[in-house]
Amino acid sequence: MPPYEVNRKVMAFQLACADTGDKTCPFVVRAETMEEALKLAGEHVKATHKVIVTPQMAEQMRRAMKRV
């Protein structure tokens, strides 16, 4: 298989709540884009932890995000 076929595999961004905030939280979000993952994670922390994501937290989340 030519290499470009391998590279076309869809990548996703994964973010674990435990990596950014509550260490005991099992929540993991996965999305095709970083912005989508950030948005979903923001909704989660707002609904579950009653926390509004600040620009500093968003930056921390970007750094904690894994490509899967």
Q: Which of 7, 5, 28 is nearest to 16 (CA)?
A: 28
> How far, in Å, CA of 58 to CA of 53, rounded?
6
Residue 5 beta carbon to Zn ion: minimum distance, rounded to whole angstroms: 37
Q: Which stretch binds Zn ion (CB under 5 A): 6-14, 23-31, 33-41, 53-61?
A: 23-31
Total of chain residues touching Zn ion, rule CB under 5 A? 3
Under the binding rule (CB under 5 A), the answer on residue 57 touching Zn ion is no
Tell whether residue 15 is a contact of Zn ion (CB under 5 A).
Answer: no
